[in-house]
Structure 1
Amino acid sequence: MRQIEYFVAVAETQSFGAAAQSLAVTQPSLSKQIQALEADLGVVLFERTSRRVSLTPQGRALLPDAQRVLRQARRFRNKARSLGFDTDIRLVAGVLPSIGAYFMPRMIERLRQEMPGLKLSFVEGSSSELARQLVQGELDFVLASETDRTDLARRDLFTETLWLCSTPEDPVMQSDAPATLSDLKGRTLLTLSPEFHLNAIVARLAAQAGATLSTEYRGASLDAIRQIAANGPEVGVLPSLYALGEAIRDPHFKVRRLLGYDAEHPVVFYTRTSSPLQALNARLADIIILEKQAIRAERAPQFQV
């Protein structure tokens, strides 16, 4: 590429001296590179005399192609330098079920405004499964909860509060004030299946409250938890993105916040430690935090979030 650049410079200035000066190289070095290019191509590019330099017929034939190659190389370089942020890049994210349905649509819309060249798609799964796919290179980043993987870079984003749901007649749903663990003594708590970190969180809360963890449902559907709890006698435990999103959408769906030690669901931004997109990843994490803060501010007047 350097030799092509030298060839174009000499052809356009019709002078080895002027070309060397424009390229900030010595004239002997420039001449040596042109000779090497001619030897490699098997053609003579310039007719040299003591007074002037002119293109040979072969040189004239090759000049337009050389100029086009340089233009493409400059575009390639400029695009590569900008890919860390906005320009024509596609990423695939792995997200938890509550993140996918109740956060990603807003996040994608925000990215359209702030990073219009970034195209983002996402798949849902458990933290452990998403982490595996990230390590395998199937995903570019993951929004998940805690995982036992130690080979990933992580940045803590936010925590979701936990909310209860049950039948309208359930005693635990008769107050608008936050519930405490003592309100759940002797009850059966229902949440996602064990491959999700939320299950471990709710299991710890159940042990602290003197409650039990239901084994009736093993799946990834927060809607299923809601429907099962709505028919009793279990008390569903849901993360805030889903619980409050549904409560806003459906005024008849009542939820009650749960207070207590560890009554939170952490959300973490995971990337491969080898990812070359560190600047982009940092910016994405910042935007995710800002969007979650915006959601929280919108809901604050209606819910004690």
Structure 2
Amino acid sequence: MDFRQLKAFLTVAETGNVTRAAQLLNIVQPAVSRQIRLLEEDLGTQLFERGRHGMALTEAGKALVEYGQRAMLELERARTVLKSSETRISGLVTVGLLPSTSDILASALVTAVAQQHPGIRVRIAMGYAGTLLRWLEAGEVDTALLYQAERSSEIQTTPLIQEPLWVVGPRDSGFKRNKPVPLSKLVGRKFILPSAPHGIRTLVEHACRAADVSLDLSAETNALSVQRSLVLGGHGLTILPPIAVAEDLAQGRLSGAPITDPDITRTIVLALPSNRSTGRHIRSVVDILEQEMQRGVRSGLWPESRWLAG
């Protein structure tokens, strides 16, 4: 197996067509077919089903796509490190952001990186903490924001922000930021919560066990936008950090209050892999990400939060 074979294979897998792959690779069609044939002979297995309508991956081919994409990503990272000069930092950096943080951070991060390091291209990957952790371990993202509860021997974390979780409801719910609500007072109300094992769901369930209470769920969802929409539609209350619905709270579309007895807080950490090197371009983006997060806390754009880093 060599680089040309792997690149030809991935291009055919993506297009499903040898002719189209040849056009993208800027080589003749027989050369692409030959690279695929040599790769199949080397591996001793068929990677595609050839048909009238194109090339369909076999089960072996589907498995190789995953490994091949990771290998190509690592090669691209190596090329970036080797080509970077002392005066200009360049390369692609993939940053994993939590849904509740993407609105405040994505645009600010991309803008700041473009201004300070125009040779760096930022890719934003959004997902929940468990998903981001898997992507980080697999090398699909270079750095990510996680909850402190996410653990792995293959990552190193730095706590950056601590923030409370609030009960949030429609504007007529009567919640106020200066009037904390005991968790026991929410018993009997309908709730929309993230599906397990989402980080916020885990924190809420732990608090409920500590207070010996049980919340009544009317719906579960793994999409923050759906969670927000259901609350606005009057289907129940939810529990979120204020940053997740900051604009709705500011505009009065939703109302919210801190939860007490017990307090529920989450800690956001910056995670980097400990099992592979981190290039200058990644470190540069990480520094800017931290700066933008700290700016959000100090300016009040990240409501009710506390900066933990030095």
User: Given the two structures, how large is their TM-score scaled by the length of structure 2?
Assistant: 0.61
1:296 counterpart residue number = 297
How many residue pairs end up in the alignment? 225
- Aligned with 1:247: secondary structure? helix
Contact 1:102 1:245 in 2 (8 A): no
Moved more, 177-186 or 94-103: 177-186
Q: Distance in 2 between matches of 1:103 and 1:244?
A: 13
1:151 counterpart residue number = 154
What RMSD over aligned residues (CA atoms) do the two structures have, in Å? 3.2
Residue 91 of structure 1, CA deviation:
1.0
Structure 2 matches for 1:231-246, cutoff 5 A?
231-232=233-234, 234-246=236-248
Match of 2:84 among 65, 80, 84: 80
Match of 1:134 among 123, 133, 136: 136
1:93 counterpart residue number = 95
Residue 298 of structure 1, CA deviation:
2.8
- Aligned with 1:207: secondary structure? helix
Residue 100 of structure 1, CA deviation:
2.3
Q: Distance in 2 between matches of 1:78 and 1:170?
A: 57
Contact 2:95 2:142 in 1 (8 A): yes
Q: Distance in 2 between matches of 1:189 and 1:176?
A: 22
Q: Could you list the per-position Cα deviations for residues 127-157 of structure 1 after superposition, in whole angstroms to 9, with x for gaps in the alignment?
A: 2222222222221112122323222122222
Contact 2:188 2:216 in 1 (8 A): no
Q: Could you list the per-position Cα deviations for residues 273-296 of structure 1 after superposition, in whole angstroms to 9, with x for gaps in the alignment?
A: 133226555554443333223222
Q: Residue type of the partner of 2:84?
A: A
Q: Distance in 2 between matches of 1:204 and 1:184?
A: 15
Q: Residue type of the partner of 1:239?
A: P
Q: Distance in 2 between matches of 1:78 and 1:232?
A: 55
* Larger strand fraction of residues: 2
Q: Residue type of the partner of 2:242?
A: S
Moved more, 178-187 or 218-227: 178-187
Contact 1:159 1:267 in 2 (8 A): yes
Q: Residue type of the partner of 1:152?
A: I
Match of 2:195 among 182, 193, 204: 193
Contact 2:191 2:219 in 1 (8 A): no
Q: Could you list the per-position Cα deviations for residues 209-232 of structure 1 after superposition, in whole angstroms to 9, with x for gaps in the alignment?
A: 454345443322223222323344
Q: Residue type of the partner of 1:136?
A: A
Structure 2 matches for 1:1-305, cutoff 5 A?
79-82=83-86, 87-145=89-147, 146-170=149-173, 173=175, 176-232=178-234, 234-248=236-250, 250-259=251-260, 261=262, 263-277=264-278, 281-299=282-300, 305=305
Q: Distance in 1 between matches of 2:137 and 2:187?
A: 41
Unaligned 5+ runs, structure 2? 1-79, 306-310
Unaligned 5+ runs, structure 1? 1-75
Inter-CA distance 187–199: structure 2 relative to 1 (3 Å threshold)? same
Residue 247 of structure 1, CA deviation:
2.5
- Aligned with 1:154: secondary structure? strand
- Aligned with 1:227: secondary structure? helix
Residue 236 of structure 1, CA deviation:
0.8
- Aligned with 1:292: secondary structure? helix
State the percentage of identical aligned residues: 18
Residue 204 of structure 1, CA deviation:
1.8
Q: Distance in 2 between matches of 1:263 and 1:170?
A: 20
